[in-house]
Amino acid sequence: MLYAIVGEDVPESLEHRLAARPAHLARLTELDAAGRLALAGPCPAIDSPDPGPAGFAGSLIVAEFDSLDDARAWADADPYVAAGVYARVSVRPFRQVFPRS
């Protein structure tokens, strides 16, 4: 089943986010290679695809896991959590309607 993982950044997270980014992307690359990643990306803190020093407000990941517990465990082990980038992370079951797969 798909799960939506939403991470909300702490204020002024950009420096920590950039430092942890390679490890964060490596985990997403593993999900993608396994065919389990539906989409992932950051939410700019301002209305711009390149927010520059404004940084990011959070991230959205939609991926397939065997259970809600597995999705939560994966989210809890994210390098952004360990680096203090996220103030909080929510994980919820997600049912894709569009685009049709």
pLDDT band of residue 4 (cuts 50, 70, 90) is very high
Helix (H) or strand (E) holding 4, with range, is: strand 2-9
pLDDT (average), residues 77-84: 98
pLDDT (average), residues 63-83: 98
Minimal CA–CA distance to 62: which of 17, 28, 14?
Answer: 28
Q: Give pTM, 2 decimals.
A: 0.95
**pLDDT over 90 at 61, yes or no:** yes
Minimal CA–CA distance to 63: which of 32, 97, 98?
Answer: 32
- DSSP conformation class of 23: H
pLDDT band of residue 100 (cuts 50, 70, 90) is confident
Beta-carbon count within 10 A of 97 CB? 7
